[in-house]
Structure 1
Amino acid sequence: MTDDDLHADYVIVGAGTAGAVLARRLIERTEATVLVLEAGGSDRDPVIRDPARMHELWHTAADWDYYTVPQPHAAGRCLHMPRGRVLGGSHSLNATIYVRGNPADYDEWAALGNPGWSWQEVEPVFRRIERYDRPAAHRGDSGILPVLSVFEPDPIQRAIMAAAEQTGIPVNPDYNGPTQEGISTVQLTIHDGERVTTADAYLTPALDNPRLTLRTDALVHRLVVRDGRATGVTGVLAGQSFTAVADEAVLLTAGAIDSAALLLRSGIGPAEELRASGIAPVLNLPGVGRDLTDHWLVPVIFAAERNIVHTPGLPPAQTHLFWHSESGLAVPDLQPLHFSSPLYEPWMSGPANGFSLMAGLVRPSSVGTLTVAGPDGPTGIDPNVLAEPRDVRRLAAAVRLCQEIGAAPALRKWGAVQRYPGPGVGENLSGYIRRTVLTYHHAAGTCRMGTDPGAVVDPELRVRGIDGLRVADASIMPRITTGNTNAPTILIAERAADLIAP
């Protein structure tokens, strides 16, 4: 199936966090036509709109419902990796937490050979994105995306903050400000009690422009490459095969799982591995699917005697902290995230009244890979979680920190009782970590940016060796950022727009 609606100057694959931003900016800055292809459907589901109901979206039609391959260092488990198959992408499924990352993250990107990506260069782009509810010299208040920073958290969340302070962790009024360390209320992409994705803020307001076409239920299978140039994509749209033609460029914004998988299925990747999978190589690009990185959480769960109530219009995660697993670290490597409910695993038990301090590691050493089993086979996701012993040690430090916070006087007043891992876990803590470690839903790095032979895209996000093809999502991160990856993904899309249409 081909028609004029499937022929544009730019074809964008994925209407998630990055694709929505890139489409809007190209329409604003050029006279080009833009076609956006999204595999999922509408984001008008009331469950999506309500940030308190995010867990109800897992394993639904809005979730790609990916699982890792068995993880030998995580008790052999296959870990669930929720990814958004819906307008707005994973921004329609996540906790709406807005974290720029640490300035050192971007300076490291630049130091790895990526000019234009240092903190000094990207910080103004963040301010261009943001429409904060309170002004500050270091952040934006007139951008497109609303960011909520002033709200009254649940009473249990206030007690968690007080307990952290009692353990010696300072309160930080703004982790996106001059320093990242300390405990804070989270900043959220919420307005009037509803989730706001980049599809809401960027894409939907631009859909009345006749040069912009959005097609949902459009599953892209592979790229069309002719004479070394990407000229379009093929797939299935509403049950029928289609080909979309791009006169200028194909822009992949399908996320760290699907952008890399699409390249591999199109014959762009490690040539010998592609041949072994039954895929004819188009370009030997060894880095595709390598450098898969994620953040990791381990539940520390408490029951409570006092009744825990939830504030409507807010997610269950309302506070977090950035801290160090050991002294001497220049950048925090831990980010415990706090939920106003007990997040039991299926094998756990306990009362419904409780809270969870999710011990978080955000600068992991373990790195994994992504593969595809043939041109139409499943994606093999192997994050290699906890393969590096240092990651277990650092998560153990995060767990002990959460245990200490849960035992502080401010939470004893709530009758807090540790259910998991339990105060007596002791030497078995590493076993508990391997049995319970969870993805933080922050997959990155599979189409890494750089200039070395293992890089997939160059500093201008162009796929090396293929003309007319760029990747602009979390897959291009040379190193995963310190904290939630949604805001950095928005930044990547904004920078892509700057590079394509300055």
Structure 2
Amino acid sequence: MRSAIVVGAGTSGAIVARRLVDAGVVVTLIEAGGYDTNPAIHDPSRAGELWHSAEDWDFFTVPQEHSAGRRLHLPRGKVTGGSHALNAMIWVRGAASDYDGWERDGATGWGWSEVEPVFDAIENDLLPVTDDYPLSPVQASIIDAAVQEGLLRNANYNGGTLDGVSQEQVTMRDGRRVNTWMAYAQPVADRLTIVTGREVHSVIVEEGRARGVRFEDGDELRADEVILSAGALGSPVILLRSGIGPADELTALGIAVVQDSPQVGKNLHDHLLSPVIFTTQRPVGPPQPGVSATQTHLFWRSRAGLTEPDTQPLHFSVPMWGELEPRGDDGFTLMAGLVTPHSRGSLTLSGPGVADLPLIDLAALADDRDLAALAASVRQCRRIGARPALAEEWGASEVYPGPEVADSDVEEWVRRTAITYHHQVGTCRMGTDPGAVVDPQLRVRGIEGLRVIDASVMPTVPTGNTNAPAAMIAERGARFLLEE
């Protein structure tokens, strides 16, 4: 009987495991973290508690030259459910042109006509995707203020047009988080072999074929197929430790080269956010159980001539102070967002062991076009917060960047405050060119029996949150494997 190892029980891995076991494959699902027993995972109002927790890999970048030399925190889920156990559950398909662009650039078979039916199937099958929930009063006013600013109210941003302000579509049911682990893998746990709390060091490759995985303690587990679904940071790390990557980098670390694949860990990119924070005279109140701190967002084009929006601010019902000094007890945040980054970074190993943390360089804001777009989004958020629906009805007053920062100086604010939008992609890029890490069927080039199925294979990041595209990739990747 055919057997497979799936590494990572996050958005992609949980789906792959379910589809394979349903087809009669003997599946071992490996998760470096533990089970999702932390109550904060299940209550959307408590998501902020999960950063720096036991369920967070708690990655940091190297100092970012173009972002005031800061090391940016990159929360990633180390738990069943993966980052879908930590995130805001926002469901965005992206733009049709995103996927047509993938296909045009060599990801054959990944155009919109091929992926749209997969999104349809996911949303009508196991995973609840809904915007049928009451808006918090301040969130309703944020929508009104955005309309006063001149944006259209978009009732369904997943309906073909992103532009406008919308209520977020999320994966929730009855005020509780629902992720792909809960919807896909957990219901068939008795048909899976699930290994938790063990980190995979590398893939065992013998005579050009993947034969299993090796754990951090040297133990081995073997199967006919190996699928890496450890995410845009985890999957390339495992490939590199396996000797699959840039030969010169591997040799320098004393790692035997199994397959010279120069692009493993390259093409790293991410969406970015920058906060605009307001205090209010009318109380917003603390987060309520079962209610996410973010319920609305908008898509907007920062300049003329763009074919799709390049910004996506998120709106939070709390002041997101982060590392800023609090300037009040109550308020809200319009988190300016960049979703079409031009900057490209890389991920490399610092050593051959699991204790050697990866060197993650987003090259955040290295491209001036990214800085210009995110700064324009900040300026827009400032204008929205000053509209009557917020300034008059709530007594909203901007405290960050604050009146001391002129619009002409916003770029410096962005460099000092930009943070991740949690959407790293691209480090195991798929394509048909010789440099692609995986082919369009997600097979690792040069190694039989090994696939990467997660956000790392995206050639370019879609316009919007990456959870839905990662789920779509998982459904298609599992199908490719079963059809082979």
| Fold shared per TM-score above 0.5 | yes
Paired position in structure 1 for 2:169 = 187
Paired position in structure 1 for 2:375 = 396
Paired position in structure 1 for 2:97 = 104
Give the C-alpha shift of residue 282 in structure 1.
Answer: 1.0
Is residue 422 of structure 2 the alignment partner of residue 422 of structure 1? no
Q: How does 1:27-426 map to 2 (within 5 A)?
A: 27-29=21-23, 31-130=24-123, 142-209=124-191, 212-236=192-216, 241-247=218-224, 249-309=225-285, 310-376=287-353, 377-412=356-391, 413-426=393-406
Give the C-alpha shift of residue 149 in structure 1.
Answer: 1.2
Percent identical residues: 54
The answer to whether the 8 Å contact 1:8/1:245 transfers is no
Q: Secondary structure at the match of 1:334?
A: coil
Give the C-alpha shift of residue 454 in structure 1.
Answer: 2.1
Q: Distance in 2 between matches of 1:214 and 1:312?
A: 31
Q: Secondary structure at the match of 2:4?
A: strand
Q: Distance in 2 between matches of 1:114 and 1:47?
A: 38
Paired position in structure 1 for 2:412 = 431
The answer to whether the 8 Å contact 1:8/1:35 transfers is no
Letter matched to residue 369 of structure 2: R
> As a proportion of its length, which structure holds more strand?
1
Q: Secondary structure at the match of 1:171?
A: coil
Give the C-alpha shift of residue 36 in structure 1.
Answer: 0.6
Paired position in structure 1 for 2:9 = 15
Paired position in structure 1 for 2:445 = 464
The answer to whether the 8 Å contact 1:450/1:458 transfers is yes
The answer to whether the 8 Å contact 1:232/1:250 transfers is yes
Paired position in structure 2 for 1:137 = none
Give the C-alpha shift of residue 279 in structure 1.
Answer: 1.5
Give the C-alpha shift of residue 355 in structure 1.
Answer: 0.3
Closer, same or farther: CA 346–114 of 1 in aligned 2, 3 Å: closer
Letter matched to residue 24 of structure 1: R
Letter matched to residue 12 of structure 1: V
Letter matched to residue 465 of structure 1: G
Letter matched to residue 363 of structure 1: T
Letter matched to residue 73 of structure 2: H
Give the C-alpha shift of residue 91 in structure 1.
Answer: 0.3
Letter matched to residue 255 of structure 1: G
Paired position in structure 2 for 1:3 = none
Q: Distance in 1 between matches of 2:8 and 2:61?
A: 22
The answer to whether the 8 Å contact 1:322/1:332 transfers is yes
Q: Distance in 1 between matches of 2:272 and 2:52?
A: 20
The answer to whether the 8 Å contact 2:379/2:410 transfers is no
Give the C-alpha shift of residue 45 in structure 1.
Answer: 1.5
The answer to whether the 8 Å contact 2:131/2:169 transfers is yes
Q: Secondary structure at the match of 1:218?
A: coil
Letter matched to residue 69 of structure 2: G
Q: Distance in 2 between matches of 1:198 and 1:423?
A: 44
Q: Distance in 1 between matches of 2:253 and 2:329?
A: 47
Give the C-alpha shift of residue 287 in structure 1.
Answer: 0.6
Q: Secondary structure at the match of 2:431?
A: coil
Q: How many residues align?
A: 478
Q: Secondary structure at the match of 1:18?
A: helix
Give the C-alpha shift of residue 311 in structure 1.
Answer: 4.5
The answer to whether the 8 Å contact 1:267/1:281 transfers is yes
The answer to whether the 8 Å contact 1:368/1:382 transfers is yes
Residues 118-177 of structure 1 show CA distances to partners (whole Å, capped at 9, x for unaligned) of 1111111011111xxxxxxxxxxx311011211111100000000000010000001101
Give the C-alpha shift of residue 27 in structure 1.
Answer: 1.2
Letter matched to residue 389 of structure 1: D
Give the C-alpha shift of residue 348 in structure 1.
Answer: 2.1
Letter matched to residue 358 of structure 2: T
Q: Distance in 2 between matches of 1:440 and 1:43?
A: 22
Q: Distance in 2 between matches of 1:315 and 1:242?
A: 41
Q: Secondary structure at the match of 2:464?
A: coil
Q: Structure 2 unaligned segments of length 5 or more: list them.
A: none
Give the C-alpha shift of residue 79 in structure 1.
Answer: 0.4
Q: Distance in 1 between matches of 2:427 and 2:461?
A: 11
Q: Secondary structure at the match of 1:64?
A: coil
Q: Secondary structure at the match of 1:145?
A: coil
Give the C-alpha shift of residue 312 in structure 1.
Answer: 3.2
Report the more deviating stretch, 146-155 or 432-441.
146-155
Residues 325-383 of structure 1 show CA distances to partners (whole Å, capped at 9, x for unaligned) of 10111011000000000001323221121000000000001010000012112200000
Residues 259-315 of structure 1 show CA distances to partners (whole Å, capped at 9, x for unaligned) of 001101111000011111222211100010000010000000001010103453121
Residues 194-215 of structure 1 show CA distances to partners (whole Å, capped at 9, x for unaligned) of 1001000000111122xx2111
Q: Distance in 2 between matches of 1:242 and 1:439?
A: 35
The answer to whether the 8 Å contact 2:96/2:160 transfers is no
TM-score by length of 2: 0.97
Q: Structure 1 unaligned segments of length 5 or more: list them.
A: 1-6, 131-141
Give the C-alpha shift of residue 390 in structure 1.
Answer: 1.0
Q: Secondary structure at the match of 2:273?
A: strand
Letter matched to residue 426 of structure 2: G
The two structures, once aligned, show a CA RMSD in angstroms of 1.2
TM-score by length of 1: 0.94
The answer to whether the 8 Å contact 1:172/1:184 transfers is yes
The answer to whether the 8 Å contact 1:52/1:312 transfers is yes
Residues 245-272 of structure 1 show CA distances to partners (whole Å, capped at 9, x for unaligned) of 012x100000000100110111100001
Q: Distance in 2 between matches of 1:346 and 1:334?
A: 23
